[in-house]
Amino acid sequence: NLEEGLRSGDEMTMNTFFRMELEPAFEQLAMLGEEVQQAVQAYYSQLDPQYRMVHKQRHAYEQSVLRINDSVARFLDQEQQHAQHIFPHYFEKTCTDGVEMMIYAGASMVEDGNFDLLYLRNLRLWQLRVTCEVARLCDALKSSLSVPLETTHLILVQNTPLTVRFSEIERDFIVEGAYNIRYEIMKKRIDKALVNDGTERLTQPGKIAIVYSHSEEAREYRRYIEFLQYQGYLLEPVEDLALEALQGLQGLRALRVSVDLRSPGLPQAVNDLLQQDAKLITA
């Protein structure tokens, strides 16, 4: 009963039924007349050539996600080159059903060991500004997507130094220690966090959520938000929300603020990337 919705295994059951029960009969059915033959041909023309299944809507969705991820990833690669001039750091991004970026910065990651909190604050301001630009980029892309997807944006504030080591085997930085593992757990769970007595998701389209643990972090980010409101990136008001308790995580809060998606002009870097994206589509 489709009114009750589909379960995770229903798609596989239907595809197996089509392949094992229906498709073997199509050759005989096609002999019944030209109209039936055309219907059989129309069915086969809709099959995904790789998976031999009808994936029209899923394909459109996946292509839309891929295009958003590709555009955001290229934009971040471009912008983080400028951020390296703030302070040399290790930049990492991963793409799945969204784009996640990590910045590792500290005295132990530079040859001369010279590091000041001013560099960290500048990197945080850069990250928040770039997140605003990513939100505006995604909004500008939406009308040209096969599936006009909404995007949400989340920043996790980490004020306690982490212990990281570079793994020669994995060719990547690995976070170590009990507190550091808690940080990794936080990263994986906060995107599903609820607020307002469990009635609303923390992450909302057109807004940036900034999850923090300590009041000092909130005060710091309020200064960045006020500056970016003055610059025309963000709107008022700023919400200060308590997150519903997550498994193993209590007491987290978040600032949430809307991005000005209707600002008179997009930053030149965003406009340049949109033009590049349009050329790739029409090529």
Angle at 269 between CA 123 and CA 238, to 5 degrees: 55
**From the CB of residue 32, how many other CB atoms can be counted at a distance below 10 Å?**
10
The one-character DSSP state at 213 is: S
**Does 283 score more than 50 pLDDT?**
no
In the numeric block, which tokens belong to residue 236? 């008022």
Q: Are 191 and 154 in contact (CB under 8 A)?
A: yes
pLDDT in tens, 151-202: 999 999 988 777 777 777 767 767 666 556 777 778 888 888 999 888 899 9
Burial 97-130 (b: 16+ CB within 10 A, else e): eebebebebbeebeeeeebeeebbeebbbbbbbb
pLDDT in tens, 134-147: 999 999 999 889 89
Q: How high is the pLDDT of residue 266?
A: 54
Q: How high is the pLDDT of residue 267?
A: 60
Query: What is the domain partition of the chain in residue ranges?
Result: 9-54, 66-282
pLDDT range class, residue 240, cuts 50, 70, 90:
very high
pLDDT in tens, 16-42: 887 788 788 888 888 888 888 888 888
**Whole-model pTM?**
0.78
CATH of domain 66-282: 3.30.70
d(CA 82, CA 98): 23
